[in-house]
């Protein structure tokens, strides 16, 4: 893909672990401003920021690169760490600390996996900090390696999205795309996930465990996205979504687990469930869990955050009914008629909303899972009742 500033800002915004990384850096070093910056010979741009001192920099803001120490990091491709500017003979009279009023400073280069320079992971504070240079640099460099992996993964996913949105994609290029997703994306994600699991078994530090757990969860979410893309491609190639049906006597447990996981992922949203004992259902429980996850994530994204999301499931007269309800502005009839088609998205007004929309294939996959179970998905949306997605399927088909 073409490496533009806009693309790089989008890539960093898509990496869910960035915010936690910056927070961990700030808490570990006691430097109250931390950021990911896109740095070139001519520019310095904020890609992500954690600011507890009111420095006033937001995503997309630029500084004159000639006034920053990141320019030296870019030129020398080596990190800079300053514990106390006023007591440091190299930097006590340097114009950059004098201009921006900081006493402690860290900047570590971020290299892409191909060796090219992306930018810096940096932190500053107007007060001096007692930094352990060896441990601090080791932590920062570990984070830059993780960011390099995530940047590469996101670039590959963006390329994949671009190919999916090309309506003239030939069958041969689709097969090549499947091979790309199956090998070039899943394998490194499996490696990240497996590595995080090994670190969890060895780590006893609570802060470190929290970060590793986030990395593992991010890798799992990326793997689920890849699986969605594979499911979509199989459906478009006429192979259908594969099912592993069997008699399930505890389907309600699988559905409740989905609700618990989503509530943990989105603690700021209230999710209420009324999932009854469902008896024996002949189904692919993992696929129905995927269906519920996609519908609930859609409700979280588009529903009114001030109102709870309501999930219910019950069996009556041989039919399983599973519904997801959210309040918000009703959807126009024109949107309702096309929302189960590939690449459907609601209208987007901001960059952040655009980044959260994903590929626009989640509801298409929901519909395919329902059809594969001999069921159907219906949606209603109005001012009085909000928006409700309802799956109806036979329990023994």
User: 161 lies in a domain?
Assistant: no
pLDDT for res 237: 54
pLDDT for res 354: 32
- For residues 203 and 288, membership in a common domain is answered with no
Q: How far apart are CA 201 and CA 383, in angstroms?
A: 50
pLDDT digits (tens, 9 = 90+) for 144-170: 999 999 999 888 888 877 776 665 555
- For residues 261 and 342, membership in a common domain is answered with yes
Instruction: Give the pTM.
Output: 0.48
pLDDT for res 358: 44
- Count structural domains, the chain: 3
CATH of the domain at 56: 3.30.450.40
- For residues 222 and 279, membership in a common domain is answered with no
Partners of residue 315 on adjacent β-strands: 320
Select from 189, 205, 236 the last residue of a domain. 236
Residue 303 sits at the vertex; the CA angle it makes with 300 and 309, to the nearest 5 degrees, is 65
pLDDT for res 68: 96
Partners of residue 312 on adjacent β-strands: 274, 323
- For residues 295 and 269, membership in a common domain is answered with yes
Neighbours of 132 (CB within 10 A): 13
- For residues 258 and 386, membership in a common domain is answered with yes
* 180-196 core/surface letters (b: 16 or more CB in 10 A; e: else): bbeeebbebbeebbeeb
User: 66 lies in a domain?
Assistant: yes
Report whether 391 contacts 370 (CB < 8 A). Answer: yes
User: 39 lies in a domain?
Assistant: yes
User: 147 lies in a domain?
Assistant: no
Helices (DSSP H) in 30-170: which residue ranges? 70-76, 95-100, 133-164
For 245, residues 6+ apart whose C-beta sits below 8 A from its C-beta are: 282, 283, 284, 373
- For residues 257 and 386, membership in a common domain is answered with yes
Q: How far apart are CA 32 and CA 22, in angstroms?
A: 10
Residue 316 sits at the vertex; the CA angle it makes with 315 and 318, to the nearest 5 degrees, is 85
pLDDT for res 164: 67
- For residues 375 and 250, membership in a common domain is answered with yes
Which of these, 1, 2, 11, lies nearest to 119 by C-alpha position?
Answer: 11
Q: Using only the alpha carbons of the chain, give its radius of gyration.
A: 24
User: 267 lies in a domain?
Assistant: yes
Neighbours of 6 (CB within 10 A): 10
Q: How far apart are CA 181 and CA 243, in angstroms?
A: 20
- For residues 120 and 12, membership in a common domain is answered with yes
- For residues 185 and 124, membership in a common domain is answered with no
The distance from CA 57 to its chain's CA centroid, rounded to whole angstroms, is 23
pLDDT for res 353: 33
The distance from CA 91 to its chain's CA centroid, rounded to whole angstroms, is 39
- For residues 23 and 119, membership in a common domain is answered with yes
Q: Which two tokens stand for residue 63?
A: 């500084």
- Domain carrying residue 200: 166-236
Q: How far apart are CA 219 and CA 16, in angstroms?
A: 10
pLDDT for res 71: 95
For 356, residues 6+ apart whose C-beta sits below 8 A from its C-beta are: 301
C-alpha dist (Å) from residue 13 to 30, 101, 193, 201: 24, 28, 21, 30
Strand segments, DSSP code E, in 223-305 are: 246-248, 271-275, 281-283
User: 208 lies in a domain?
Assistant: yes
Q: How far apart are CA 349 and CA 29, in angstroms?
A: 37
Partners of residue 121 on adjacent β-strands: 36, 108
- For residues 269 and 211, membership in a common domain is answered with no
- For residues 320 and 340, membership in a common domain is answered with yes
Q: Spell out the per-residue pLDDT of the chain, length 397, in tens.
A: 678 899 899 999 989 889 999 999 999 999 999 999 999 999 999 999 999 999 999 999 999 999 999 999 999 999 999 999 999 999 999 999 999 999 999 999 999 989 999 999 999 999 999 999 999 999 999 999 999 999 998 888 888 777 766 655 555 565 566 556 655 666 667 778 777 777 777 777 777 777 787 787 777 767 766 777 777 666 655 556 778 899 999 999 999 988 988 887 788 899 999 999 999 999 999 899 989 988 998 898 888 999 999 999 999 999 999 999 999 888 887 777 778 876 555 543 333 333 334 445 778 889 889 998 999 999 999 988 899 999 999 999 7
User: 159 lies in a domain?
Assistant: no
Backbone angles phi, psi at 341, to 5 degrees: -85, 155
Which of these, 22, 167, 264, lies nearest to 12 by C-alpha position?
Answer: 22
Strand order in the sheet with 104-111: 62-63, 44-51, 33-39, 117-125, 104-111, 80-82
Select from 236, 262, 290 the last residue of a domain. 236
For tokens 């940096």, the residue is 122
Select from 236, 260, 290 the last residue of a domain. 236
Report whether 193 contacts 223 (CB < 8 A). Answer: yes
User: 155 lies in a domain?
Assistant: no
Q: How far apart are CA 285 and CA 246, in angstroms?
A: 8
Q: Which two tokens stand for residue 290?
A: 């995927």
């Amino acid at each position: 893909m073409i490496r533009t500033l806009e693309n790089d800002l989008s890539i960093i915004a898509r990496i869910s672990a960035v915010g936690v990384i910056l927070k961990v850096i700030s808490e570990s070093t006691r430097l109250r401003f931390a950021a990911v910056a896109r740095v070139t010979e001519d520019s310095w741009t904020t890609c992500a920021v954690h600011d507890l001192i009111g420095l006033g920099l937001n995503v997309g803001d630029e500084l004159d690169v000639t006034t920053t120490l990141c320019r030296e990091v870019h030129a020398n491709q080596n990190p800079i760490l300053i514990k106390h500017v006023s007591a440091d003979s190299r930097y006590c009279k340097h114009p950059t600390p004098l201009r921006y009023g900081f006493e402690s400073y860290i900047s570590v280069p971020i290299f892409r996996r191909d060796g090219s320079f992306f930018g810096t992971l940096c932190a500053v504070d107007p007060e001096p900090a007692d930094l352990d240079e060896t441990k601090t640099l080791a932590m920062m460099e570990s984070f830059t390696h993780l960011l390099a992996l995530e940047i590469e993964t996101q670039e590959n996913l963006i390329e994949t999205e671009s190919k999916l949105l090309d309506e003239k994609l030939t069958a041969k290029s689709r097969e090549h795309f499947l091979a790309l997703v199956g090998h070039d994306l899943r394998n490194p994600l499996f490696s990240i996930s497996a590595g995080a699991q090994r670190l969890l078994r060895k780590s006893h530090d609570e802060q470190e465990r929290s970060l590793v757990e986030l990395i593992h969860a991010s890798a799992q979410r990326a793997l689920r996205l890849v699986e969605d893309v594979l499911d979509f491609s199989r459906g478009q190639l006429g192979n259908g979504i594969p099912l592993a049906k069997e008699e399930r006597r505890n389907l309600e447990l699988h559905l409740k687990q989905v609700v618990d996981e989503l509530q943990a992922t989105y603690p700021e949203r209230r999710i209420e469930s009324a999932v009854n004992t469902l008896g024996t259902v002949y189904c692919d429980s993992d696929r129905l869990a995927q269906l519920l996850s996609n519908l609930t994530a859609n409700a979280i994204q588009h529903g009114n955050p001030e109102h709870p999301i309501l999930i219910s499931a019950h069996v009556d007269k041989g039919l399983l009914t599973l519904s997801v309800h959210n309040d918000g502005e009703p959807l126009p009839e024109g949107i309702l008629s096309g929302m189960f088609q590939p690449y459907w998205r609601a209208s987007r007004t901001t960059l952040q909303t655009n980044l959260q929309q994903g590929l626009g294939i989640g509801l298409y996959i929901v519909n395919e899972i329902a059809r594969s179970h001999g069921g159907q998905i219906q949606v209603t949306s109005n001012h009085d009742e909000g928006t409700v997605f309802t799956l109806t399927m036979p329990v023994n088909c």
